[in-house]
Amino acid sequence: MHDAALIPTLVGGIVLAFLFAAIAHRLKLPILAGYLFAGVVAGPFTPGFVADGAIAHELAEVGVVLLMFGVGLHFSLKDLLAVKAIAIPGALGQMAAATVMGLILGWALDWPFAQSFVFGLALSVASTVVLLRALGERHLMETGRGRLAVGWLIVEDLAMVLALVLLPAIGGAISQGESLSPLVLLKTVGLTLGKVALFIVLMLVVGKRLIPWLLKTVAHSGSRELFRLAVLAVALGVAFGAAGLFGVSFELGAFFAGMMMAESKLSHDAAEETLPLRDAFAVLFFVSIGMLFNYRVLFDQPLAVLAALGIIVIGKSAAAFGVVLAFRKPLRTALTLAVSLAQIGEFSFILIGLGVSQNMVTREAQDVLLAAAIISILLNPFLFKWLDRYLAAREQAEPATTDAIAETPALVPTLLQGHMIVAGYGSLGQLLGERIRARGEPLLVLEEGEDRLELLHASGIEVLAGNASHDDVLEAAGLERAKALFVTLPDAFESGEVIHVARRLNPGLRIVARADSAECLAHLQAQGADAVLQMEPELARVMIEQLAPA
């Protein structure tokens, strides 16, 4: 099985990921641990089935592309520019600090300067997939903290693009025993930055108009299959073109493709179409990382692995924490970013692999980095759990001075009486809002999406900006005086939390919710909803009612 090709690698990776993820879930461990262990089992360092590492890496790359495309769909150019003042100096400063720590470790291990430098640089950049997955699970992507983290990632990606271009030139000079000409170095840097700038300008001028137009045109064809293909073609096509024509990373190309598609009103549909494929390939990303793990390095060089892990989890996180606090950001923002960056991933593997191919880094140093990286990825979910508990305890202990107030404007409790509350202002929420206003009933909407908030303000509808499942938002909504609560959120768990909190705050409140499945319906009923409506059964009932004589 050492000659495993595409199908065995794909099937073996997914099956093993499922089996070990199920075991991890049963043992109450992070599911990520199951994915990584599946990769270890499928890797070349354990007996039995061995998947094709090169194919697994390429499949994982598709997952990263789709993930960054999805992030771009929820990110605007305004969001990116809003965090540039801290993201650019912060990311570069943190990368420099981590690289210096790597140099010091290399000096202690008696490594050559070039190897120590590449090793330190590889330690400085966080994994896009791990970071975005953690933020997404906590619904932080569209918060100030989430936008800062994504902006930080973009700066790191751009820095890595430059490093990947310069490394072969530096490695070639070293291997030939020559000194690298400053003129050649300056020319290489200038050419790389010029290509990146040209790509960004092209996306802002042409892509911003062409991509939404293409999406709108395909949508008017009425074919959902064609629409799905158009979304994937744009995501993968722009990513591939960016890498091939401009030397930009696949990830950065996909991010800009998503950001340009976000200009279209169909961006929400585009995100839904890519979600299943994105999740499946993201699993293969973690499997491919596990395949690289050589467990023997833990016995051969345990102190080196531990030191590298310390730089990743403590050193560079402390540097990021200090930078964010220096910019007078709240403590919770600094802690969130520090924990988010306490791991490394795909760019680190690419960079260290390139260093090996250029004879700048030994295989032993590569194994040390890979082991430290995998352990950092395994530790990251536990760090986030600690952070969640710490912030929750801090908010309870100091409700009046919590950083949450410093990070977002204070919620002003509504003064409405006998009003109807709509949680979520998507298409269903908007239809409900129109009907409620037509009845002359007072209306309050709970919403956190910026585009929908702008729509609500323009329509003169009272709104509380925030996540509807948060206690402070529901307490400000005047539930004890409300007439009814309509929960239209697409996420069953968020809807359940809204219903649970609302029922606790007002046991007599009339609560009506939407459900997308029988399981969701049962869950929301168990949380205390008075009525839960599922689209297909309700449509079937109404259609049958049309047969009744007038």
pLDDT of 122 reads 92
Biggest distance spanned by C-alpha atoms of the chain: 93
pLDDT of 406 reads 42
What's the rounded Cα separation, in Å, for the pair 320 and 226? 44
Handedness of CA 195, 71, 322, 99 (dihedral sign): negative
Strands 420-423 and 462-465: unpaired
Q: Which residues of 419-436 are buried (b: 16+ CB within 10 A; e: fewer)?
A: bbbbbbbeebbbebbeeb
The pair of three-digit structure tokens given for residue 165, joined into one six-digit string: 């271009």
Locate all alpha helices (DSSP H) within 124-266, ordered by sequence.
128-137, 144-175, 182-202, 208-219, 224-246, 250-261
* Distance, CA of 350 to chain centre: 20
pLDDT of 288 reads 84
- Mean pLDDT per 10-residue segment, the chain (550 residues): 69 90 82 85 84 80 78 68 83 92 93 91 86 77 78 82 71 56 70 81 85 83 82 86 80 80 69 72 82 87 94 94 88 90 84 83 90 89 87 67 45 86 89 90 86 80 83 84 90 84 88 87 89 85 77
pLDDT of 1 reads 45
The answer to whether residues 68 and 254 touch, using CB atoms and an 8 Å cutoff, is: yes
pLDDT of 186 reads 75
Helix (H) or strand (E) holding 420: strand 420-423
Q: Which of 171, 503, 487 is nearest to 359 (CA)?
A: 171
pLDDT of 172 reads 60
pLDDT of 268 reads 64
